Amino acid sequence: MPRQSAASAGHGHARDETATDASAGGSTQPALIKSAEFWLDDGNIILACGSTGFRAHQTVLAMHSSVFNDMFALGEPGPGDSVFEGCAVVEVTDSAEDILRMLKAVYFRDYATEVKQQLDVLASLLRMATKYMFDGLRSEVAAKLRLLFPDQWMMYASQERTSAMPMEFDPFVAVQLGQTCRLPAIVPVAMYLCVVREASKESFWQIPEGGVDTPREQLRHSCLRFMNDLKDRMDEVFLPLEDVLPWRRFANGRWACEQTDSRGQCAGLPCHARRVVERKCRILAVDIFRESLVFNVQDGRATCGMCHAHLTRYETLIQQDIWDLLPKLLGWYNWDAVKEEQRTLDLSERASTDEHIAQMPPRKCRREEAAEPIFEKDGEFWLCDGNIILVCELTGFCIHRSVLALHSAMFKGMLSDETLSAQQFEGRLVLALPNPAEDIHCMLKALYSRHYAMEQKQDFAVLASLLRMSSTYMLHTVRKEVISCLKILLPSTLSTYQSPERHVLLPTDFDPTLVVQLGEQYT
């Protein structure tokens, strides 16, 4: 493989050592510090970030990334190429931290979707997924960001978003991501949060080191314009609401209740109540979409349920109208225009990826030694750089030892057994398993492919197979995904039972009898 820069084209064994190899075969031997967090002993490609090297598998990277697939299509390294411990070295211009996060996300599927994953990690993953065309990873991260910075008002204050919100995050980062990584759907709310969360800080108004031409300073000026425009257009929100309940009758210095009779059972609201609500919005004193605008507008006198209902409706109208203003302040006609632009970008990106894949030459793998197999090689999972063969029902699957060990403590223990070295085929370890070949194939699809278990209308037979295999071999991430899917298909609440999400996932071969058997056998 020719030496090249990637910019132009699980946790392994802990290591922290600097090594230089003597030249061999004319290839250059760079000095690298092996990453202490990601160095897979059976890897066959090294990503070098400065002096730090990360050892991984060509086929795993190529399977998920069109860019890496294109890079590796050139085949084995040749004379003059960088080689370290027999592995081709690809120099990348990214930071070591970004590469480490990318590899964690590729090899550990739940890394990107951790409940409260930090925004700086999500930002790093989105940049890397966009640059190297990791489409599955980009979709996961984009969905996470669209939850944190939603384009639907009801989602903004939802429990799902609250649960996913990290303790600290910088909305400026989200604005930059939306503008540079083709994710405009997150920009309006991210810009709003910049104003609400950051404008109250003294540091927001100070010119940063580096002067006024830095990207951060330019973004700050954009936020200031957004804030001023939002304040200027508050009249569009409040003037149409002047005559809605409870602001229709003013008597005796109070906003009178519509239900008050001659006995005066409801004191109504004080004269300043409406202005208190308006002022909170006009000066952006609170997060308008999360905090109550009508709290503390009374003066200690009791109000009836009718007045409370009118106040709640008034607050809802304000929040909805201000929400509808956000995209307009950034040049969109409405939220539908934002969503349409995002859909167009997503479709364009997928089409570009498909075209890129179609134009790529076939990958060149090393030529296998002639040998008569005692099994039939699986058509999908016979990876040219695999180093272990799982044999089930006369079908062989050539994959990576470290991938199995990273996801399963049971496989890790099995593969450490020295007696396994006695069984080999074409120089690869052979491990015979008692499971059906179809179950092994499903298990490998779940380990190497993103979203396999959660695909829309995934065959129930596949879910059952994955539950059996993940329970048998202690594949905790896969088991968690399958159980989450089964909980949606067989929910404990009526609302989930009737939800669109359940009907989207409901397979055509759904068998409740098999579910009972699986639940009893695999808890």
For the chain, give every residue range classified as CATH 3.30.710.10.
376-522
The pLDDT profile of the chain, 523 residues, written as one tens digit per residue, is 544 445 444 334 434 445 444 444 455 666 788 999 999 988 989 999 988 999 999 999 988 888 888 888 766 655 556 888 888 888 899 999 999 999 999 998 888 888 888 999 999 999 999 999 998 899 999 999 999 999 998 899 888 888 888 887 888 889 989 988 999 999 999 999 988 876 566 555 555 555 555 667 778 788 888 988 999 999 999 888 887 877 777 777 777 777 655 555 677 778 888 888 888 888 888 888 988 877 766 665 666 778 778 888 888 999 999 999 999 999 999 999 999 999 998 888 776 665 655 555 555 554 444 455 678 888 888 988 888 888 888 899 998 988 988 888 888 887 776 555 557 788 888 888 888 989 999 899 888 887 776 666 677 788 888 888 888 888 888 888 888 877 877 777 887 777 777 777 777 666 667 666 666 666 6
Q: List 28's β-bridge partners, or say none.
A: 82
Q: Which residue has the tokens 């049971």?
A: 410
Give the C-alpha separation, 405 to 196, whole Å. 46
How many helices (H) and strands (E) the chain has is answered by 22, 14
Report the side by side order of strands in the sheet with 250-251. Answer: 250-251, 254-255, 269-270
Q: How many CA atoms lie within 13 A of 276 on its CB side?
A: 14
CATH 1.10.287.180 fits 376-522, yes or no: no
Give the C-alpha separation, 253 to 510, whole Å. 65
| pTM beyond 0.85, yes or no | no
Question: Helix 335-359 to helix 305-328 angle, to the nearest 10 degrees?
Answer: 50
CA torsion 367-369-373-375 (nearest 10°) is -30
